[in-house]
Amino acid sequence: MNDLKIEGAPLPDMPWQDRPADSKAVLWRYSENPVIPRDIISTSNSVFNSAVVPFKGGYAGVFRCDDTCRRMRLHVGFSADGIHWHISETKLEFESEDEEIGKFVYGYDPRVCFIEDRYYVTWCNGYYGPTIGVAYTYDFETFHQLENAFLPFNRNGVMFPRKIKGNYAMLSRPSDNGHTPFGDIFFSESPDMCFWGKHRHVMAPSPFEESAWQSMKIGAGPIPIETSEGWLLIYHGVLLSCNGYVYSFGAAILDLDEPWKVKYRSRPYLISPQKEYECVGDVPNVTFPCAALHDPETRRIAIYYGCADTVTGLCFGYIDEIIEFTKKNAM
Ligand code: BMA
């Protein structure tokens, strides 16, 4: 894959560890996982499913911090190296011109996407049930909340890092008001970040016999990465086991101009809950990616993922190897 072209700003100093000598895995875990403990702030029960981006020579993020009342909250954090984080003790407050939209009920599973001149935050926003909240910030201090992208119920709103054919683009996963036992990924676009439409179906869960880890529901993870092979999408998939839901993640490659067309989708997972911090916690057996950092030149990727709905993990890989793996193992 020597001619593979990867878009994105250079990030040579991104968090990284080489693949362990005894590993042949496509993705390998950070040796000091969990990278963010559950009690990094005094009010948190757990810090997981969270989003980070490069910011001013370091990193910034929006973190899902469930508090000790077990309320789902978002908190802002900063880091010089992407490993050691300072997370605000107080919850993120959005500014909104509309009282109805700005009324905070709950927020979880944020994603952060830099487009043109600002950072957009999308998250699962409580508005008569879960839907996709949208806000933007320039500085991670003031956040301007926009209209919710969709009607409830919806989760896993993930923006593309540039306009596609002139419109903003987002993946999402229509759901129900509970622990949704179904779920397909859809594509939607918007001319103005207010009105979303032209909805297209992207992917359904797979037949159990084909790929059981993604047979009950699926949802987009980190912001897709643009490559000459297509958009690299890391997504989570859920298996319904006799002991409940099991969340793993894998990769797909979407057409660049028409991202609802799936070019390749891997049958095996990349990461499934196997380490103790992924198997034991408030919700056992969950690995849930929400963000990735990458460096186009070295092809390195670092993926942040929630572990057992309790802590945040980090794993590493090479983008060209993930693409090769996805093509070779495509359904
Ligand atoms: C999903 C979301 C995630 C969570 C996962 C496992 O429906 O609520 O935030 O990590 O369930 O509990």
Tokens coding 239: 């298996």
Ligand 1: centre distance to CA 274 (Å): 17
Task: Give the model's pLDDT for residue 280.
Answer: 98
Phi, psi torsion values for 148, nearest 5 degrees: -60, 145
Whole-structure pTM value: 0.98
Distance CA 299, CA 33 (A): 22
Of ligand 1's listed atoms, the one at least distance from the Cα of 108 is 9
Topology at the third CATH level for domain 44-328: Tachylectin-2; Chain A (2.115.10)
Provide the residue ranges of all domains of the chain, joining segments of one domain with +.
44-328
Of ligand 1's listed atoms, the one at least distance from the Cα of 247 is 6
Of ligand 1's listed atoms, the one at least distance from the Cα of 288 is 10
**What are the angstrom distances between the C-alpha of 163 and each of 110, 113, 115, 148?**
20, 12, 8, 19
Tokens coding 327: 């093509």
User: Residues 130-162: pLDDT tens digits?
Assistant: 999 999 999 999 999 999 999 999 999 999 999
Angle (CA) 30 328 226, round 5° = 65
User: Residues 104-116: pLDDT tens digits?
Assistant: 999 999 999 999 9
User: Residues 285-299: pLDDT tens digits?
Assistant: 999 999 999 999 999
* Residue 196, ligand 1, Cβ within 6 A: no
Averaged pLDDT, 234-248: 97
The residue count for the chain: 331
Averaged pLDDT, 66-87: 98
Task: Give the model's pLDDT for residue 325.
Answer: 98
Task: Give the model's pLDDT for residue 39.
Answer: 95
Mean pLDDT, the chain, whole residue set: 98
At residue 1, does pLDDT exceed 80?
A: no
Task: Give the model's pLDDT for residue 2.
Answer: 73
Averaged pLDDT, 52-70: 98
**Cβ atoms of 271 and 294 closer than 8 Å:** no
Q: How confident is the model at residue 235 (pLDDT cuts 50, 70, 90)?
A: very high
